[in-house]
Amino acid sequence: MTIQFNNIIITTDNSTALTYAITTNPNPLQINTTGSISIVVSKAAPPAVQCTSLSFSINTGIAAADLTMDPSTITTSCPPNWGVTSNGDGTFTFTPNPGQGTIGPGGLAFALNTIAVNEQVGTTDLYITETLQGGTSHGSIPIPKFPPNFTVSDLIATPPNNIQPGGSVNLSWNGTAGGVYTLSYGSFSFPNLPNVYNFPVGNLQQTTTFTLTVNAEGGTLQFQRQCTVTVLSPKIDSFGIVGNPDFVQQGSTIQVYWSTESIDHCALSVNGVPMTGESNLPASSSGYPITVPTVVGDCEFTLTAFPGPSNTGGLTSSTLANVFKFNVLPNPLAIPLLVSDMSISPDSSLLCLAGCLGLYFVSTAQQKIVHTTGASFSTSPLFSADGSHMFCGISSGIFHPTYEIQVFDTSTYQAQVTPAAQARYLKLAQGSAKGSLLVAGVADSTSVGSNFAYLYTLNPANNFQLVHQVQIPQNVITDLSLNSLVANPQGDQILVCTDSNFYIYQPNSNVLSSALLNQYNFTSAIFSPGGSRYYVATAAKALILVVDAAQNQLLGTINLPSPVRSGMAPAPDGKHLYAALINGTVVRIDLDTMRVIQTFQVGTAPSLLSLNPEGKHLYVVDTIDGTGLKMPYKLWTVEIADSSN
């Protein structure tokens, strides 16, 4: 049972359920007056309880310890559905109607009214008996009876509202002379203060309760007033970037959010430098726009929250963002060629673009075409491991084409022609490891429009002589096209993508096997930099399959906003993958979480992608309208940088 007098806790017994808040009128109670006692009964913590009865008893008589000599003048009030009985000796028992005795946090109000307070100054007791379903408990509270007209005002704090840490407050009261006034708070006590007084208190650092105690009649009477001054406890509840992105793009506009308590205003800074014009921001914001600075890697945004109007005593909270640079350079290079393949040299100095109408060498430093060939069609440009040579499949003539592999010296662009082949090379693939064999996808005839039918393994060290060959299963040859042929870095595993099938070829042992992924049709595939995984894009579905290369086991899928057009490029660190989508965008994929983390616009219909070995430049072939028939194509250069480079 907890008993409060004038909102001051007098006693607490945690073994009982109810709280009693008692006030008198007048307050303090005076002799030779008609007074009242109000009692609010509640139970703060759930669950509510069922009360059977509540009894309030007073002492009757003319002595100082008695409240009244005539209890018959007392009237009562109680909640609806409650009744009251009295035996005339000063005991009043309140009983609810059946099922109506629920007492919870809202509380119930009872009162003893029109009390004819007797003529003796002193302290009397109010006795309480509560009967609940769980049993009966008892308690009492002393109620002082002061001389006539003895008053004590409320204890008033100025300012009355919350104050900042270190702030000051003035406490004032107005009471009747003749009492001993003592103000106490914390470990401090100040006795013998005037009955009318203003008491200043400075440098408050925490919420403080002040108690004014008035003793009268030689200490036999005691009355208290209390007030609590709340010292603000400023804090930052939250601060971050809206959407919690993994990366933010350099120069882009993002939104930050924050919420605070007991804060006057806020300011923002980035990497320790105050942001211009961001020094008088509101205490909370669900989305405040800021521009990402031109830095790369970890960028620290800091919110400073000030409790007062001055920019002192601020609290700080910081959030890190990984700033990613994706800068599409202006003035793309026009390529008068229907580009079908693109490759970059190991030292990043040359791009080679192949397709209908020839072969183009592009200097990445000069951003210009430095050499072209006049072949009718070229395919699959491949650089040697040291970059000194590049070879690709070449066809010459239209009605009676001839096919060969040409090897170019990349310093002079002079071509060494290998013996003419009796087959039509569709695509070439070779690992970057020294001594890797070359694998060629070969058509079933040399005529234009012929179908993919064989894989040839050729030896570059022996003038590209045939080592062995394997035939694609006959039941899938009809209308079969070879969409992608790609080797792992070791050169011992080749991915073969067709419209309706997907194969793994091992050139060293001449073994062709299905990868058990044939519920899809495939546009392109690419290995991770180390070759432990490969990624396969499908034509009909907006996803990329992630496969363990050693076990050929599907590890997961990457959902995309649109299917891949053809180009994919893994970052050198193996953490990210870039893909050109049919919807005209380039996406950046986090390979740990297998999800798209950023989307960029590069040109209008990006197709092929090539990332330099340092991961700092992405080259994008733009087919302009997506049909692949409109020339010239455009070659865009994109500057890339994040915390890894």
Backbone angles phi, psi at 71, to 5 degrees: -70, -10
Q: Which residues of 280-318 are buried (b: 16+ CB within 10 A; e: fewer)?
A: ebebbbeebebebeeebeebebbbbbbbbeeeeebbebe
Residue 462: Cβ within 10 Å count: 9
- Cα separation, 497 vs 47, in Å, equals 68
Residue 341 burial (C-beta neighbours within 10 Å; 0-12, 13-18, 19+):
buried
Name which of 343, 352, 531, 344 is nearest 433 in CA terms.
531
| pLDDT of res. 477 | 45
- Is 534 in contact with 527 (CB distance < 8 Å)? yes
| pLDDT of res. 463 | 86
- Is 394 in contact with 381 (CB distance < 8 Å)? no
Q: Where are the domains of the chain?
A: 2-146, 156-229, 235-327, 515-645
- Cα separation, 126 vs 147, in Å, equals 19
Q: Which residues of 180-212 are buried (b: 16+ CB within 10 A; e: fewer)?
A: ebbbebeeeeeeebebeeebebeebeeebebbb
Q: Which residues of 617-641 are buried (b: 16+ CB within 10 A; e: fewer)?
A: bbbbbbbbebebeebebbbbbbebb
Alpha carbon of residue 165 to chain centroid: 32
3-state SS, residue 541: coil
- Is 461 in contact with 478 (CB distance < 8 Å)? no
| pLDDT of res. 574 | 92
The domain defined by 515-645 carries CATH number 2.130.10.10: yes
- Cα separation, 311 vs 279, in Å, equals 9
Backbone angles phi, psi at 526, to 5 degrees: -155, 145
Q: What is the mean pLDDT of each run of 10 residues along the chain (645 residues)?
A: 82 75 95 96 91 96 96 96 94 93 94 97 95 90 95 92 86 96 96 97 92 92 94 92 89 94 93 91 95 89 92 92 91 90 95 89 94 82 92 73 84 80 82 92 73 90 91 63 92 90 93 74 90 91 94 93 94 94 94 93 94 94 72 90 71
Long-range own/partner contacts, residues 67-74 (CB < 8 A, 24 or more apart): 67/115, 67/117, 67/118, 67/124, 67/126, 67/143, 67/145, 68/115, 68/116, 68/117, 68/118, 69/116, 69/118, 70/116, 73/114, 73/115, 73/116, 74/112, 74/113, 74/114, 74/115
- Is 302 in contact with 317 (CB distance < 8 Å)? yes
- Is 314 in contact with 348 (CB distance < 8 Å)? no
Residue 491: Cβ within 10 Å count: 21
- Cα separation, 517 vs 498, in Å, equals 12
Positions of E strands within 271-376: 273-274, 285-291, 297-306, 315-328, 333-335, 338-344, 350-356, 358-363, 368-372
Check if 2-146 and 515-645 are the same fold.
no
Q: What CATH topology corresponds to 2-146?
A: Immunoglobulin-like (2.60.40)
Backbone angles phi, psi at 372, to 5 degrees: -135, 160
Name which of 63, 65, 97 is nearest 79 in CA terms.
97
**Domain spanning 235-327 has what CATH number?**
2.60.40.10
Helices and strands in the chain: count of H runs, count of E runs = 0, 56
Encoded tokens for 139: 């308690």
| pLDDT of res. 478 | 46
Name which of 386, 331, 340, 387 is nearest 360 in CA terms.
340
- Cα separation, 363 vs 43, in Å, equals 82
Name which of 430, 321, 318, 433 is nearest 382 in CA terms.
430
- Is 310 in contact with 235 (CB distance < 8 Å)? no
Query: Model-level pTM?
Result: 0.67
| pLDDT of res. 629 | 61
- Cα separation, 136 vs 130, in Å, equals 6
- Cα separation, 511 vs 435, in Å, equals 19
Backbone angles phi, psi at 73, to 5 degrees: -80, -15
Positions of E strands within 17-134: 19-25, 29-30, 34-42, 49-58, 75-77, 82-86, 91-96, 102-103, 108-116, 122-132
Residue with tokens 């907890």: 2
Please, which residues have CB within 8 angstroms of residue 484's CB and are 6 or more apart in sequence? 427, 495, 496, 497, 522, 523, 524, 525, 566
Encoded tokens for 35: 């007074």
- Cα separation, 478 vs 238, in Å, equals 62
Residues β-bridged to residue 344: 351
The domain defined by 156-229 carries CATH number 2.60.40: yes
- Cα separation, 352 vs 360, in Å, equals 6
- Cα separation, 554 vs 517, in Å, equals 8
CA 613, 570, 340: angle at the middle one, nearest 5? 90
